[in-house]
Amino acid sequence: MDLVERFRGTGVIVRFIEYMDVGNRNAWREDLVVPSKELAARIAERWALEPLERGYRGEVAERYGFTDGKAKSVSSPR
């Protein structure tokens, strides 16, 4: 939430990247990962969100904007 708040209204797009489990070499711990749906829900509890159109053909991220028009947030994956 601090990251989103810091960049609201600055023109910087916050993008959350999917954690990729690539086997037993990266110390994968599910308890340290926040699923994208939960993350979007947490943000929406504080600031109302609306889905945005894809930025380009083939974009895989889900895009959201704040309904107050202050900024855009991008969440990945779809």
Per-residue confidence at 75, pLDDT binned at 50, 70, 90?
low
Please give the tally of structural domains in the chain: 1
AA identity, residue 2: D
pLDDT of residue 73: 63
Q: Which residues of 45-61 are buried (b: 16+ CB within 10 A; e: fewer)?
A: eebebeeeeeeeeeeeb
Per-residue pLDDT of 17-74, as tens digits, reads 877 767 677 777 788 888 888 888 999 999 999 888 888 888 888 888 899 887 766 5
Taking the C-alpha atoms of residue 26 and residue 51, their distance in angstroms, rounded to an integer, is 32
How remote is the C-alpha of 34 from its chain's centroid? 10
pLDDT of residue 45: 94
Domain carrying residue 40:
2-75
